[in-house]
Amino acid sequence: MNRFDWLSEYLARLEDEHVLVHRGHRGLPPTHTLLIDAEDWGRAAEVAHGLGMRWCAAWGDPHPAHVGIFACLEFQGDYLLLQTEVPWETPVLSSHTPHYPAANRPERHLQDLLGVAFTDHPDARRWTRHAAWPEGAFPLRPDFPPEGLDAAHPTPPDGDYPFEAIRGAGIHEIPVGPVHAGIIEPGHFRFQAVGEKILRMEERLGYVHKGIEKRAVGMSPERLVRLAARVSGDTAVGHAWAACQALERATGTPVPGRALYLRALLAERERVANHLGDIGAICNDVGFAFAQAQCSRLREAWLRRNAELFGHRLLMDTLCPGGVQVDLDARGARTLQTDHAVLREAFSSLYDLLEDQPSLEDRLVDTGILTTESAVELGVVGYVARASGVDFDLRRDNPYLPYTEFPIPVAVAVEGDVAARVRIRAQELLAALEIMDRLLEALPDTPLHNALRAVPGEAAGFGAVESWRGETLCYVRLDPDGRVARYFPRDASWLNWPALERIVMGNIVADFPVCNKSVNGSYSGCDL
């Protein structure tokens, strides 16, 4: 099936399954959007799975009388949004999880925050809700106050999360976290092991739930983009760009060429900074501190240049709806081109050294393998997917300006181990330097931003960008006054965290830190 007839094939199979598709409703450009009946929700996913579509995200959009439910699917770079509605009196749907394991946690997030029940979901445990609000209270419903509940609604104590356990002779349990020895975010990992060999590991996240989805309601588009940059601090540009895309598509606002090129430049700078930091940290986790010192030195110089030229080390608040808030003069462009040449030479020499270290090879090769089959089944994205043979990159496969203007190299490996994930990230870092040189050479001379267009009534948009961690999605709905009625960001970590549970199986407990860092899921990106 080619990418031009997959939707017709899907519609034909839905018709064969007697799934009713409602025509003529307003979609979310540039995606394909299908409105289907609630009773057909599960069958629509089953048919999509049979065609080989990847499941990407699910979210709810509350209205006074009903809640709209969306599921995002992807096929060969094209996106499809399935949409349905359920009344508040009976918010019940069939689950997508039996067909797509990736739907497990997002559906439980919907259950916890909106009270939507999934009848055939294989895991009834809560996910986002750490007993932070009383039973029967759902923070994303319209009747839940934005400021939270008062003292008359005390928060019940949080009991033990019912981790699944393996029983048998010689099996012991190792709890790790949620407070860790390093300066990292909180997450709990429960291991079942025989000796040092990991038989099973289960994650428990949600310790930094921030109420971002509720907080966004009523914001201006400008404030929303500032909030988006703080969904996950290491992906300020990625989430801000996705939010800007959604807002601009909702309102039909064009973005000046210079702003688009600068957005891409900032996104690639974010990619380089994070890959540098993580490659060094992976090496440090297996005792090769020299690489950590060198990568930290290179990353620090990179971040200082961010602050010098763009006002913030992590590039916070550099984007705005309709464009960007920062510019780059000719002298700054020349400075960056020199930096790129210096980093290219320094990192290439360093990586050649890393490739020739038997001690690194011994700890990284064949450690933490994610097979191609598991990567496809779980729908993982970004460098985790590409290191396991999944050849997908939004910049090439669903390109957006300015990535449409020149070829985007995409590195892919098939080994799926920690060494492959390091290698893919090193190749992406070097490719980003080439991309940034191209951007600087062709930087258009246009204004930096356009004002968002006013639209009559409500408007909704969908954003999708390839951030450094992988595919980052965003849904925004504006009310008739042009303020935010619903905001949902989906970080790549929603799909990549579950892969870690498979990556560590069969490895020794001592290799968990390096397996974890090679994935580097964002706690904050999932704990909305």
Q: What is the pLDDT of residues 389-441, one digit of tens each?
A: 999 999 999 999 999 999 999 999 999 999 999 999 999 999 999 999 999 99
| pTM of the shown model | 0.94
Query: In this predicted structure, which of 142-156, 324-338, 370-384 has the lowest mean pLDDT?
Result: 142-156
Q: Is the peptide bond before 30 cis (omega within 30 degrees of 0)?
A: yes
Cβ pair 309, 303 in contact under 8 A: no
Residue 65 structure tokens: 């009388």
> In this predicted model, what pLDDT tens digit does every residue of 207-243 receive, in sequence order?
888 899 999 999 999 999 999 999 999 999 999 999 9
Percentages helix, strand, coil for the chain (3-state, rounded to 5) are: 40, 15, 40
State the distance between the two ends of the chain, measured CA to CA, in whole angstroms. Answer: 37
* Euclidean distance between CA atoms 519 and 383, whole angstroms: 8
The DSSP secondary-structure symbol of 414 reads S
> In this predicted model, what pLDDT tens digit does every residue of 22-36 receive, in sequence order?
865 566 767 788 999
* 524 SS3 class: helix
Q: What is the pLDDT of residue 310?
A: 97
Pairing of β 117-118 and β 92-93: parallel
The better pLDDT of the pair 3, 525 is held by 525
Cβ pair 99, 105 in contact under 8 A: no
The better pLDDT of the pair 236, 157 is held by 236
- Chain centroid to Cα 434, Å, comes to 24
Cβ pair 225, 320 in contact under 8 A: yes
Q: What is the pLDDT of residue 180?
A: 81
Handedness of CA 283, 285, 290, 291 (dihedral sign): positive
Q: Which CATH superfamily is domain 6-118 in?
A: NADH:ubiquinone oxidoreductase Nqo5 subunit (3.30.460.80)
Cβ pair 421, 377 in contact under 8 A: no
Write down the domain spans for the chain. Answer: 6-118
pLDDT, mean of residues 262-290:
95
* Euclidean distance between CA atoms 476 and 487, whole angstroms: 5
Pairing of β 188-194 and β 171-176: antiparallel
3-state secondary structure 452-479: CCCCCCCEEEEEEEEECCEEEEEEEEEC
* Euclidean distance between CA atoms 375 and 421, whole angstroms: 13
Residue 356, Cβ density class (10 Å: 0-12 exposed, 13-18 middle, ≥19 buried): exposed
Show the DSSP H helices in 356-462 as ranges: 358-364, 372-378, 382-386, 394-397, 418-441
Residue 437 structure tokens: 């040189």
Helix pair 418-441, 257-285: axis angle to 10 deg: 150
pLDDT at 345 over 80: yes
The percentage of the chain sitting over the pLDDT mark of 90, rounded to a whole number, equals 79
pLDDT at 41 over 90: yes
The better pLDDT of the pair 457, 248 is held by 248
